[in-house]
Amino acid sequence: MPQKTRDEYLSSLKKLGHRVFIRGEQITDVVEHPISRPPAVAMAETFRQAEPGQKEELFSVRSHLFNDSINRFAHIQHSTEDLINKITMLREMGRGTACCFQRCAGLDCMNSLYSVTYEIDEEFGSHRHERFVEFLEYIQSNDIVPAACMTDAKGDRSFSPSEQIDKDQYLHVVEEVAGGVIVRGAKLHITGGVNSHELIVLPTRALKEEDKEYAIAFAVPSNTKGITFIYGRQPSDTRRLEEGRSDVGNLYYGGSEALVVFDNVFVPEERIFMKGEYSYAGRLIELFAAHHRASYGGCKVGVGDVLIGATAALAELQGTANASHVKDKLAEMIHLNETLHAAALASALKGQRTPSGAYGIDPLLANVCKLNVTRFPFEITRLAQDIAGGLLVTMPSLDDRQHPEIGAYVRKYIGCKSEEEAEKRMQLLRLIENMTMGAGAVSYLTESIHGAGSPQAQKIMITRLADLESKKACAYHLCGIG
Amino acid sequence: MPQKTRDEYLSSLKKLGHRVFIRGEQITDVVEHPISRPPAVAMAETFRQAEPGQKEELFSVRSHLFNDSINRFAHIQHSTEDLINKITMLREMGRGTACCFQRCAGLDCMNSLYSVTYEIDEEFGSHRHERFVEFLEYIQSNDIVPAACMTDAKGDRSFSPSEQIDKDQYLHVVEEVAGGVIVRGAKLHITGGVNSHELIVLPTRALKEEDKEYAIAFAVPSNTKGITFIYGRQPSDTRRLEEGRSDVGNLYYGGSEALVVFDNVFVPEERIFMKGEYSYAGRLIELFAAHHRASYGGCKVGVGDVLIGATAALAELQGTANASHVKDKLAEMIHLNETLHAAALASALKGQRTPSGAYGIDPLLANVCKLNVTRFPFEITRLAQDIAGGLLVTMPSLDDRQHPEIGAYVRKYIGCKSEEEAEKRMQLLRLIENMTMGAGAVSYLTESIHGAGSPQAQKIMITRLADLESKKACAYHLCGIG
Amino acid sequence: MPQKTRDEYLSSLKKLGHRVFIRGEQITDVVEHPISRPPAVAMAETFRQAEPGQKEELFSVRSHLFNDSINRFAHIQHSTEDLINKITMLREMGRGTACCFQRCAGLDCMNSLYSVTYEIDEEFGSHRHERFVEFLEYIQSNDIVPAACMTDAKGDRSFSPSEQIDKDQYLHVVEEVAGGVIVRGAKLHITGGVNSHELIVLPTRALKEEDKEYAIAFAVPSNTKGITFIYGRQPSDTRRLEEGRSDVGNLYYGGSEALVVFDNVFVPEERIFMKGEYSYAGRLIELFAAHHRASYGGCKVGVGDVLIGATAALAELQGTANASHVKDKLAEMIHLNETLHAAALASALKGQRTPSGAYGIDPLLANVCKLNVTRFPFEITRLAQDIAGGLLVTMPSLDDRQHPEIGAYVRKYIGCKSEEEAEKRMQLLRLIENMTMGAGAVSYLTESIHGAGSPQAQKIMITRLADLESKKACAYHLCGIG
Amino acid sequence: MPQKTRDEYLSSLKKLGHRVFIRGEQITDVVEHPISRPPAVAMAETFRQAEPGQKEELFSVRSHLFNDSINRFAHIQHSTEDLINKITMLREMGRGTACCFQRCAGLDCMNSLYSVTYEIDEEFGSHRHERFVEFLEYIQSNDIVPAACMTDAKGDRSFSPSEQIDKDQYLHVVEEVAGGVIVRGAKLHITGGVNSHELIVLPTRALKEEDKEYAIAFAVPSNTKGITFIYGRQPSDTRRLEEGRSDVGNLYYGGSEALVVFDNVFVPEERIFMKGEYSYAGRLIELFAAHHRASYGGCKVGVGDVLIGATAALAELQGTANASHVKDKLAEMIHLNETLHAAALASALKGQRTPSGAYGIDPLLANVCKLNVTRFPFEITRLAQDIAGGLLVTMPSLDDRQHPEIGAYVRKYIGCKSEEEAEKRMQLLRLIENMTMGAGAVSYLTESIHGAGSPQAQKIMITRLADLESKKACAYHLCGIG
């Protein structure tokens, strides 16, 4: 079996030797650095769940390329059942980590490239698909994590890539060299980049002929010369540096994003999956966006489960669980959360085979799913904070419970029925703080808006995919017209 | 093939001879009376769509009881695919009629009784299921429409059935007689009752031992002695009586509800499907409610399609279709409508086999679906009226266009690019009026709140089904507890 | 005292002799015709409340033109207190009638013309204001009702008035004649036009020099030759024609709108308040819109009070008033309703003196008020229908209670603790039906969106008036910039 | 003039010598400690604005006790104009600081005690009011800041104060001693406590006779023996400890809350304003709550102005300001923000004189104001993050711009038209981060829910104050009943 254990993954990450800066400091071990460890461990959870005795029936799956089981995070979906299982797996991961575990963008990207390279070859008689399948086989048989790198810096947004004054504002080919090309540019918001063995780069938008040099998709190892990761800051990120880490909220896990700079990076020919086929950039992005927008109806719902659970547990400890308004608010939180999930499942159910044999998700319902994701977590958050009470933001450090002078005050006045329950209460409050206004809020709130594309992008797709003509015909028919 | 054509159905209805009162007048032909004709014709559409050359691949299905195809509205679902097809069929019907076509409550009721009679027999060794299957075979092989009769009058709501002063406030057995029983009571809000050949009666709530006499489920023909239908009024119902019917909005279709009185009605033994098994009343209702709540994510979405289509067509005629706020509002309408549908599909996808072999829908997602249905049609309505403009409610009669004195004024000032377009505009406005504040609003708005159970019922079920314990465990785990 | 009693007003209306068509029929007495009587009586209520012993301290006020008290509906506001009293009076009227009582558009129009004619004169040295004051004195001293006529037919909306192929799509001067001008065109959605003694016409939009001939404002008696009123249809409007009128819902009152056609109407010089001063058209409309948008935070709130009251009373009769979700929904209804009122009051409080001495309302807050009015009544409606229950739309006619054959059934099964309470229940349900999907919904829902300008118009004004620059400066300051 | 300058206030705070713990460390100078300095400086801004040349016409006012001007934050409101000016002043402060400036709870508390002590004396012939006025004169003539201390620890919420096992869960009198009493307990969430010269303590709920010992209101200096402040943690609080403070977002200001412990504190007789008059505890809290709930429609609106300004400025820098969806979202943010303000203004406008001569705010509208405050800032936040883009949470430290190795990358790829604009962009993003998920979110989001009482408390008051009976009467009247 080619699958890595959690620990093997973490070891491999330690040895990666990629160039990462956190708060100005170049770090050598992302697994051990207190700020980057929780994201690494969250990613590692995708390996642990596939281990025997864990949830391997969900997290492992037979490869369609060879006769062995692989991690589902490396699998090309070949049925609606596959699509559904992916969503279910993502929710499971969200429940287990309460954060962005960073491995689904790479998965969604591979599934999209699988289809699009095939379609490119069909039109151009090229060998993109063959190369991509080789790469995929390497990924699957070594249980490699690739990160998807899409969003460019974009410079002045009123200009297209080729119109930019600084051409590097969109990553592009700067030189053709023996055996490959040199590329330059940067990719923003790269989720889990620092925890990935490989980077898959793809264009960020539909392109026209004049933008041909920007129509480039490829993969390179994360430790390739010329690549630099600049770690993004998160609210309360440095609580992880505090001794005891009592106030981190989420004890184990976290997400991470980085600015990834490609400064004259060599890409070998065999790892180029698109080059110049600008007319397929839009198709690639739409496929990826649909997959990824549906993913959010898995992972964010799992995170929502944790927030709902934390809130319900807190209400019990605080003695308010039976108040009718609390019950009503919890019901609303569940309702909103399940509404998100429903659309993801439905988009999987309505998935369709692409020419390559891989399945694409239903794009209309995937966009509907994501548009709700840009909204409901904020309302779920508001309700969670409502039930949690003001102590959420006025509470001293958990360390203060042990303080020689003020510890007794804290234990007495931030109490519950017992000492132990009082401590649980404070820990749950810190978890809710983490998820709604701390490091966890990055993923649960802001990323829910912008990840996989901003709300306006969803609105545009929804209108385009809605088949308004047939709806108009229905209306006219009932008026006796046409 | 045992399926009726549209015309055969309408003929059968004409000959039914059941006792129907509309606005105080006993009518003899529900098909011809101007007020009850549109509902009859809407129901008839379920037959027409199953005719060859129409959409028979969706509307016809092989019976699991015998080797022939039947109308899907009489089918017991035996797979998630069956469940999904039902939802799809309901949306199709909604698109075609823009109203409640009244045949799904009977369908959902039969699917629930199929399971529950089986389970009753398993516990009690009785023969309820055998009888029900006989009845079902009669239904399927003759393409019979049964209406589900559930909601009792309820009297004083603070009392249980057996505590009521007037025992008839819940329909009940008043006497055991040779070969059957005599029942008395009334059922409210009976959708499509007047257009049904048979009435299936079931209890309206979970029951306790002392309510045993109310634990009665059975079927009787609609024209059984002692049964009276009292037709409910709808907004603008009498526009159908106006000469020319120019202002009815929806030219062909409508929904109908009636108060159905059972005044000492004899029920033969072989048509009794529950009698005294009070502990199964709750189970029956929950199964039915789940099926029916998911149905609303089909039919109302189809109706929503028509409203969206009417609004989009109107915006084009009025020259506002390219205004960014109009595009945004249309996108929002589509988004909300598809969100409703997504949850219905997801609840079908997650459907589960019951012991009888029939499939039940996922109750959590079905309740989530319905709770959204109690909300979004109001917002879709608001957006439709926003785009439609004030003329929606200030416009003269369409007849006025032909008036010798004022016709020229109306044609000139309620205009468009052409006479023909101006007339389309007025017709579309009337359709939107019908759907948002006329007879169609009964089904699209109020029934969306209360049909299949009111919002509070959904909130209760959602909380009960949400598995809060596992969510709490996730939260505690991330706090390092337990 | 120059004020008319309710009965004097109704008499004067009977004698008016204006040309009114309802459903194709020219009627001679708007007070007696069953469809137009409720609107006439609603308008009459503005007179009755000013009668001694009623609420004359609120409805009567001293004229600023002469030493006598007048109806506040004819008053030029000269202080924030005046502005506040107007809002309060409108709420009172809404509470008393549950409909559009049709007299505030004229009031708001007069207040705007008072200011703008003054400002025109200041720039041009003309005598518009003097003429307008003469007209106003006639209005005040005879307690005359003028209707505001603003919205033009507009033809093709992508063209300006002067670009239209049919010039009459915006009302305009067609000929200058001795002692006045001839105008032609039509005004849509004219509220209370048929119940008004005079019509005040004003432009519908800001105008440029090329649209000069459309820059016309004037007043003419409603019975002027060439003027035709074509009555708009409303949902369930013909219930008023039914014998017994049992199902009308609102027993006494209603609103009305008409298409008003001006077919070569002569306007005498002394009644022209703007002619050619195109640069003041925008100013006039903005002043009027602001006044009128704030008005909606009075009248609609009063109507909301009735809906809340009806719902609360119904919950009591139905025995659900103590359910926590019912209490919560009622609280929400009240909350939304008061939020509407608050903005109206605040816009009055922040009102400012115009050069004429009259007070204008704060335009930012008036637009905020109105934008909420385009939303909340739909949610209040949804909550009312939720509490009301499905019977709202499935209930037989109230007449059926007395029916020899089915009356006993209706009384028994649509019951309450007593016969009398059962009848109250049905009447309250009819009232709620009227207000949420009957004739009353015209005013409470659709008119709440479009009356005084559609939501997009409010959004544009809100942005324009928000002083974004000072807000940006605050933000930059806190960043240490600027 | 008795008013302190900003610097005099800060000096006085330095010398206060009260016992404050921040993260386990007892600090000696709240003005200089990096974490507590921004809150101190925010409070100081209330003094600076009253300085000559600033906004003294708004921030200074003549005392009703003596012939001199005082800071409005120490003023007893004696007219609706006073009430309105207070709201306006709070918005101004919110605009200037983008945080909780912590001085209004004390102000609202003094206004409430002024009325209630008067009413107590009227009933009991006591001298509470006289003592309170003496205290007030001290406050006003020395420009002293008092903090309001209300929320008790509450222990087990299912028990009343006197039923608690640990009596100290509600602050109470433990002993009567010569010249005063000894009290014990703790107050939670005390806003600005550490920046206040005095603490005013009042009960947290309505009390019954058996809770008499908890019916205690008094004032003591913050540095009184036995008082300990335990500082609450906030998201990203330690960014203030980072060298350069580049990522704090709000460069100058912040809010603060503390747990304040009263461990056998002596209160002299002359500073006791309620003792045993349990029947007035509810009245005192309702008056305070109403004042304070309206306050939120001032301060939070000012903070909202900053967030709107930051978002608008950012959209300009990012080149998206003219996108129609961005304009629409900004309009919505403004609309929601002004809706909050409107209700505060309206509650002031409808304020009423209490027997003491002081004015109370309209409690219905104040509760309506606050209930909206518990909702809209979350939606405004969501819209701000939508416009801001994902960089909000993925951006490196601002320090990284100057980094020798990665600085060039950051400057190039997180760019704008110019270096300077790029830096502005990053600073604005940090400000938005601070306000929506950093230290500023404490005040703008969570405190908006719970400060001045949680949403459910508002719902209860709204229903109680809504005069449902008169609304029912209106509805019945229109049904022809009663």
Q: What is the pLDDT along chain B (482 residues), one digit of tens a residue?
A: 579 999 999 999 999 999 999 999 999 999 999 999 999 999 999 999 999 999 999 999 999 999 999 999 999 999 999 999 999 999 999 999 999 999 999 999 999 999 999 999 999 999 999 999 999 999 999 999 999 999 999 988 889 999 999 999 999 999 999 999 999 999 999 999 999 999 999 999 999 999 999 999 999 999 999 999 999 999 999 999 999 999 999 999 999 999 999 999 999 999 999 999 999 999 999 999 999 999 999 999 999 999 999 999 999 999 999 999 999 999 999 999 999 999 999 999 999 999 999 999 999 999 999 999 999 999 999 999 999 999 999 999 999 999 999 999 999 999 988 989 999 999 999 999 999 999 999 999 999 999 999 999 999 999 999 999 999 999 999 999 98
Q: Where are the alpha helices (DSSP H) in B215-362?
A: 281-318, 324-349
Q: Which residue of A has its CA nearest to B94?
A: A474
d(CA B41, CA B22): 17
Q: Which residues pair with C20 in a beta bridge?
A: C27, C229
Residues of C in contact with D330 (CB under 8 A): 463, 468
Distance from CA of A265 to the nearest CA of D (A): 15
Instruction: Report pLDDT for A1.
Output: 59
Tokens 């804290």 correspond to A410
Arithmetic mean of pLDDT over chain A: 97
Instruction: Count the Cβ atoms, other than its own, within 10 Å of residue C300.
Output: 31
Instruction: Report pLDDT for D482.
Output: 81
Q: Give per-residue pLDDT as tens, A59-108.
A: 999 999 999 999 999 999 999 999 999 999 999 999 999 999 999 999 99
CB–CB of D306 and C478 under 8 A? yes
Confirm whether the ipTM is greater than 0.95. yes
d(CA D36, CA D237): 10
Q: Which residues contact B108 (CB under 8 A, 6 or more apart)?
A: B148, B288, B291, B292, B295
Catalytic residues of D: 100, 104, 191, 257, 292, 296, 299, 447
CA distances (Å), D181 to each of B24, D265, D387, in order? 79, 8, 56
Give how far the C-alpha of residue D418 lies from the chain's centroid of Cα atoms, to the nearest Å: 39
CB of D36 less than 8 A from some CB of A? no
Whether D133 shows a pLDDT value over 90: the answer reads yes
Instruction: Report pLDDT for C1.
Output: 59
CB–CB of A166 and D382 under 8 A? no
Whether A10 shows a pLDDT value over 80: the answer reads yes
Q: Which residue of B has its CA nearest to C408?
A: B261
**Dihedral angle, C-alpha C156, C158, C162, C165, nearest 10 °:** -40
d(CA A32, CA A9): 14
CB of A365 less than 8 A from some CB of B? yes
d(CA B381, CA B336): 11
Q: Identify the band that residue A305 occupies on the pLDDT scale cut at 50, 70 and 90.
A: very high
Q: Identify the band that residue D1 occupies on the pLDDT scale cut at 50, 70 and 90.
A: low
Across C300-441, where does the E strand assignment appear?
A: 352-353, 359-360
Whether the Cβ atoms of residue D228 and residue D263 lie closer than 8 Å to each other = yes
Distance from CA of B162 to the nearest CA of C (A): 16
CB–CB of B479 and A430 under 8 A? yes
Tokens coding A352: 């369709």
Q: Which residue of A has its CA nearest to D379?
A: A378
d(CA D424, CA C479): 8
Instruction: Count the Cβ atoms, other than its own, within 10 Å of residue D53.
Output: 5
d(CA C49, CA C43): 11
Subunits with 3+ C-beta pairs closer than 8 A to B = A, C, D
Residues of D in contact with A26 (CB under 8 A): 405
Is-catalytic flag, C444? no
CB–CB of B390 and C151 under 8 A? yes
CB of D305 less than 8 A from some CB of C? yes
Instruction: Report pLDDT for C157.
Output: 84
Picking from A307-316, A412-421, C340-349, D124-133, which range would have the lowest pLDDT averaged per residue? A412-421
Q: DSSP states of C195-246 as a string?
A: G-SEEEE--SS---GGGGGG-EEEEEETT-TTEEEEEPP-TTGGGGGSTT-T
Residues of B in contact with C318 (CB under 8 A): 157
Instruction: Report pLDDT for D156.
Output: 84
d(CA B233, CA A172): 68
Q: Which residue of D has its CA nearest to A166?
A: D412
Q: Which residues pair with D356 in a beta bridge?
A: none
CB–CB of D338 and C466 under 8 A? yes
Q: Identify the band that residue A136 occupies on the pLDDT scale cut at 50, 70 and 90.
A: very high
Distance from CA of C288 to the nearest CA of B (A): 18
Instruction: Report pLDDT for B1.
Output: 59
Q: How many residues in total does chain D contain?
A: 482
Instruction: Count the Cβ atoms, other than its own, within 10 Å of residue B15.
Output: 9
Q: DSSP 3-state assignment of A280?
A: helix
What residues in chain C have per-residue pLDDT under 50? none
d(CA D361, CA D115): 12
Share of chain D above pLDDT 70, in %: 100
**Dihedral angle, C-alpha C313, C316, C320, C322, nearest 10 °:** 100
Torsion over CA: B285, B287, B293, B299 (sign) = negative
Whether D257 shows a pLDDT value over 70: the answer reads yes
Distance from CA of C234 to the nearest CA of A (A): 19
Smallest Cβ distance to A313: which of B306, B368, B475? B475
Distance from CA of D403 to the nearest CA of C (A): 21
Subunits with 3+ C-beta pairs closer than 8 A to D = A, B, C
Q: DSSP 3-state assignment of C352?
A: strand
Q: What residues of chain B, 324 to 353, have a C-beta less than 8 Å from chain D?
A: 324-325, 328
Q: Which residues contact B65 (CB under 8 A, 6 or more apart)?
A: B133, B136, B137, B140
> From the candidates B320, B322, B324, which should be mutated to test the interface with D, based on the most D CB atoms within 10 A?
B324
Subunits with 3+ C-beta pairs closer than 8 A to C = A, B, D
Q: What residues of chain B, 72 to 101, have a C-beta less than 8 Å from chain A?
A: 84, 95-98
CB–CB of D166 and A257 under 8 A? no
Whether A156 shows a pLDDT value over 90: the answer reads no
